[in-house]
């Protein structure tokens, strides 16, 4: 049977400005999004037995239609009119409900993989259009490059000049609902959003844009996020920020050695999920 094994990377948001609430309840954003080397692994296998089957085996992640990867396969099967069976096995390494986009990345990877396995020949743009019907962050992972993301996250402009960066990713094992965070946000009237620079020569340039409008919402419920930021800075990070709706925090380091040392010291005292990752280019 034809099969593909693909990596589905996590993301961090170097910047997240919430511009306005839309009539459909979503929010217009301006974000800088970066894929990182922390990845889920997905094996997609075509089968003679019709139907879609997802096996993940991680607590808090559904195996059936509740899984966004299942819905991605279903969307492509319906569009193509094919009767194939699809088996999807997910090895989940990305913390769940963490602000790291794990589900969105799994869905994008299934769109790309099923398109290839079934020889559908759908363009990246078409897959991004299908992606946004599954979730606002899915088009970014189909796009596959560091990007300025606008609209609800689906209008993407590539950012070419991204320096090599190491980061320490810290997740305090508290799931956070993205819908709750957006629902609890008190928007400043007339937020225009700053002009975000698009060229980053080094870690200092990236640190200069670090900002997340959702941070105060999630920190007010989980103050430990603020403590993690302080720990990362005290351990030598050049900058630290909550990713997306949280609660995961990333700290930026110009060298791998600095990141490894910080991860070791924070991991020793905390019992949290702590790992070192690279920014993907």
Ligand X SMILES: Nc1ncnc2c1ncn2[C@@H]1O[C@H](COP(=O)(O)OP(=O)(O)O)[C@@H](O)[C@H]1O
Residues in the annotated binding site for ATP: 95-105
Count of C-beta atoms within a 10 Å radius of residue 186: 6
Stretch that binds ligand X, among 17-25, 77-85, 97-105, 156-164 (CB under 6 A): 97-105
Closer of 139 and 258 to ligand X (Cβ): 139
Position among 18, 32, 36, 69 found at the interface with ligand X (CB under 6 A): 69
The annotation places the binding site at 95-105
Annotated catalytic residue: which of 11, 17, 92, 229? 11
DSSP notation for 147-185: EEEETTTTEEEE-------EEEEEE-S----HHHHHHH-
Burial of 233 (0-12, 13-18, 19+ CB in 10 A): middle
Q: Hey, which residues between 11 and 50 contact ligand SUD (CB under 6 A)? A: 13, 16, 25-27, 29, 31
Q: Hey, which residues between 214 and 273 contact ligand X (CB under 6 A)? A: 244-245
- Measure the CA angle with vertex 239, ends 234 and 242; round to 5°: 100
Stretch that binds ligand X, among 15-23, 65-73, 205-213, 271-279 (CB under 6 A): 65-73
Q: Is residue 101 within the footprint of ligand X (CB under 6 A)?
A: yes
Strands (E) in 222-271, as ranges, are: 239-242, 249-253
Minimum gap (Å) between residue 251 Cβ and ligand X: 18
CB 196 within 8 A of CB 15: yes
Residue with the shortest CB distance to ligand SUD: 244
Q: Is residue 244 within the footprint of ligand SUD (CB under 6 A)?
A: yes
Residue 244 phi, psi dihedral angles, 5° rounding: 55, -135
Position among 75, 97, 237, 262 found at the interface with ligand X (CB under 6 A): 97
Minimum gap (Å) between residue 3 Cβ and ligand SUD: 27
By C-alpha distance, which of 158, 182, 40 is closest to 105?
Answer: 40
CA distance 100 to 242: 10
Q: Is residue 99 within the footprint of ligand X (CB under 6 A)?
A: yes
Cis peptide before 266 (omega within 30 of 0): no
Partner whose binding site includes residue 97, from ligand SUD, ligand X, none (CB under 5 to 8 Å by kind):
ligand X
Q: Hey, which residues between 73 and 92 contact ligand X (CB under 6 A)? A: 90
Count of C-beta atoms within a 10 Å radius of residue 273: 17
CA distance 37 to 49: 34
Helical H runs in 19-136?
Answer: 68-80, 102-117, 124-132
CB 146 within 8 A of CB 48: no
Annotated catalytic residue: which of 106, 137, 213, 229? 137
Residue 49 Cα distances to 46, 52, 70, 80, 114, angstroms: 9, 9, 16, 17, 16
Q: Is residue 139 within the footprint of ligand SUD (CB under 6 A)?
A: no
Q: Is residue 115 within the footprint of ligand SUD (CB under 6 A)?
A: no
Residue 11 falls in the annotated catalytic set: yes
Q: Is residue 60 within the footprint of ligand X (CB under 6 A)?
A: yes
Residue 63 falls in the annotated catalytic set: no
Which residues carry out catalysis?
A: 11, 137
Residues that bind ligand X (CB under 6 A): 60-62, 67-69, 90, 96-104, 106, 178, 244-245
Residues that bind ligand SUD (CB under 6 A): 13, 16, 25-27, 29, 31, 99, 101, 104, 135-137, 152-153, 178-179, 182, 244-245
């Amino acid at each position: 049977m034809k099969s593909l094994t693909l990596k589905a990377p996590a993301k961090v948001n170097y910047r997240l400005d919430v511009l306005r609430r839309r009539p459909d309840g979503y929010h217009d954003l301006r974000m800088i999004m970066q894929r990182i080397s922390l990845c889920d692994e997905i094996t997609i296998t075509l089968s003679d037995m019709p139907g879609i089957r997802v096996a993940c085996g991680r607590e808090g992640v559904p195996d059936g239609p509740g899984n966004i990867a299942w819905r991605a396969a279903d969307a492509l099967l319906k569009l193509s009119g094919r009767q194939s069976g699809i088996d999807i096995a997910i090895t989940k390494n990305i913390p769940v409900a963490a602000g790291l986009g794990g589900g969105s990345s799994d869905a994008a990877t299934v769109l790309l993989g099923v398109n290839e396995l079934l020889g559908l020949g759908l363009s990246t743009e078409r897959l991004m259009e299908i992606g946004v019907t599954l979730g606002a962050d899915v088009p970014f992972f189909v796009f596959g490059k560091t990007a300025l993301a606008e609209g609800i996250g689906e209008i993407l402009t590539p950012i070419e000049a991204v320096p090599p960066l190491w980061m320490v990713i810290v997740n305090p094992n508290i799931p956070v609902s993205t819908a709750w965070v957006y629902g609890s946000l008190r928007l400043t009237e007339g937020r225009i959003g700053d002009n975000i620079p698009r060229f980053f020569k080094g870690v200092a340039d990236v640190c200069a844009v670090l900002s997340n409008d959702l941070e105060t919402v999630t920190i007010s419920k989980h103050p430990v996020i603020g403590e993690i930021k302080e720990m990362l800075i005290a351990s030598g990070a050049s900058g630290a920020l909550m990713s997306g709706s949280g609660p995961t925090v990333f700290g930026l380091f110009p060298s791998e050695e600095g990141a490894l040392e910080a991860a070791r010291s924070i991991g020793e005292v905390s019992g949290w999920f702590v790992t070192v990752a690279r920014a993907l280019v």
